[in-house]
Amino acid sequence: MTDSTKDRVYIFDTTLRDGEQSPGATMTHAEKLEIAQLLDEMGVDIIEAGFPIASEGDFRAVSEIAKRSQDAVICGLARANLKDIDRCWEAVKHARQPRIHTFIGTSPLHRAIPNLTQDEMAERIHETVTHARNLCDNVQWSPMDATRTESDYLRRVVEIAIKAGATTVNIPDTVGYTAPVESADLIRRLIAEVPGADEIIFATHCHNDLGMATANSLAAVEGGARQIECTINGLGERAGNTALEEVVMAMKVRGDIMPYQTGIDTTKIMNISRRVATVSGFAVQFNKAIVGKNAFAHESGIHQDGMLKNAETFEIMRPADVGLAETNIVMGKHSGRAALRSKLKDLGYELAENQLNDVFVRFKELADRKKEVYDEDLIALATTDAAEDENRLVIKSLRVVCGTEGPQSAALTLLIDGAEHSTEATGDGPVDASFNAVKALFPHEARLQLYQVHAVTEGTDAQATVSVRMEEGGRIVTGQSADTDTVVASAKAYVHALSRLIVRREKAGKDTPEVSYKDVS
């Protein structure tokens, strides 16, 4: 590694690949393009855009992201076979800076899956990395489950990959098994003992099964790794991946003991965190580091007193450092479109004219119902709008009857592809009655996997943000909506998910997975 890159840590974001594999986190084509653009603008060095051979939809998304990329390297994932690698190259070759990332499981447990001996696997690694390098100058290789691979064999296969042309070698802690001292020592030993290791970049990819993903990633950097693989909000399978915002801010705040730098514009963190939470349907926990709702909140009297005297007493970073607005109540029913545009821009949202017009209409409706409109209210308005091509079902009117004496009932008028349909239904509570009414007008077999409600702000007039996740025939969709009426928000989120399901049904023939896979790294 050259002196000029010693202290530069590259950020490899896999939100669109490993993050999307979290059950229920599937994103639409348009959402993937949007998130990729936000990542590029934020300064992410490498964007792993997807698994091109997994489906035609994934291939199209990776290809389009590659064509639109500005500064980031665009990477696709491929298993250790020539067909996967060729398909990956076809998708990423359009990028200004393409990368092929190929992998194979090297631990005893993973070698048993394809039933390969150590020698057979070593031969396949040489063949596939060589093939990838013949297609692309930028090749990354990963020994999946590296932290549970025998030390001697790991050194052997890393050397093979380097000699075959890998320019980056990623050492994944696939199941979140390792600990910081082991993570640092593993990277340190590979760099010291493997011929050619000083000529390539070592990466770390940690999962959070034991809650140590961030610590393990930073320890690997201390050991010599210069690329961290991570996701926004730590999204990912099981307990998730290393959170981008955590490692980036840790290195920024504690530069005294971690003298490394990244190219990330940290003021864009909150915006992309909120957007990923919205499109994935995975809300950020309130006490999540950096991006949680309570990350910069202070309720204790001692803490509040200290904050009033000197913010540094209880805050090691400023809210503005991560793009969090420090003001609250400024908008009301007399505010105009220009003020709304300016306020949304301050909050990190630059909307197209038609988007702004739609948000402005809903803002005025909200301002008529609420005494005070908070930043969080505006964020909810800006992030819960469904894409136009997914508005196949629209609630025209909903009236519910509820109370201590049942049955609870809902009278619903629903627009289905523009045609008006009405019905009444009962249920175990107003939300159940509303869902039953929707199902009566639009029969389906989708199973409700998640129904989640949280208040955007305080007070009885607070907006409720509702997330709904549904599954039908292996297709998982999410819907979100916000309203001061929790039942209305619930019904709208339910209908939003069903609208997406219609689109998925129609695309099923074109977007059927070509292979079944379960990830990696």
- Three-class SS of residue 471? strand
* Cβ–Cβ < 8 Å for 469, 500: no
In the structure encoding, which two tokens stand for residue 448, read together?
């409700």
Residue 205 assigned to a binding site: yes
In the structure encoding, which two tokens stand for residue 169, read together?
């070698």
* Cβ–Cβ < 8 Å for 50, 281: no
**What contacts 302, CB < 8 A, 6 or more positions away?**
none
Residue 170 assigned to a binding site: no
Residue 436 assigned to a binding site: no
End-to-end CA distance of the chain: 24
- Three-class SS of residue 361? helix
**What contacts 262, CB < 8 A, 6 or more positions away?**
8, 9, 10, 11, 43, 45, 248, 251, 252
- Three-class SS of residue 73? strand
Cα–Cα distance list, 71 to 9, 30, 104, 331, 424 (Å): 16, 20, 29, 36, 54
In the structure encoding, which two tokens stand for residue 319, read together?
């809210």
Query: 139-144 and 419-427: which strand pairing?
Result: unpaired
Cα–Cα distance list, 62 to 127, 241, 390, 440 (Å): 24, 21, 21, 38
Phi, psi of 351 (to 5 degrees): -100, 145
**What contacts 237, CB < 8 A, 6 or more positions away?**
18, 21, 22, 23, 207, 519
Angle, helices 56-68/82-92, rounded to nearest 10 degrees: 40
Query: 393-401 and 227-230: which strand pairing?
Result: unpaired
Q: Closest Cα to residue 329, out of 291, 370, 290?
A: 370
**What is the rounded distance in angstroms from the CA atom of residue 316 to the CA atom of residue 118?**
49
Q: Which residues pair with 100 in a beta bridge?
A: 76, 139
Q: Closest Cα to residue 367, out of 341, 342, 332?
A: 332
**What is the rounded distance in angstroms from the CA atom of residue 343 to the CA atom of residue 323?**
13
| Torsion region of 429: left, alpha or beta (phi above 0 gives left; psi -120 to 50 gives alpha) | left
In the structure encoding, which two tokens stand for residue 426, read together?
């009962």
**What contacts 119, CB < 8 A, 6 or more positions away?**
none
Amino acid present at 159: E
Residue 18 assigned to a binding site: yes
Bind-site residues = 18, 205, 207, 241
Annotated binding site for Mn(2+): 18, 205, 207, 241
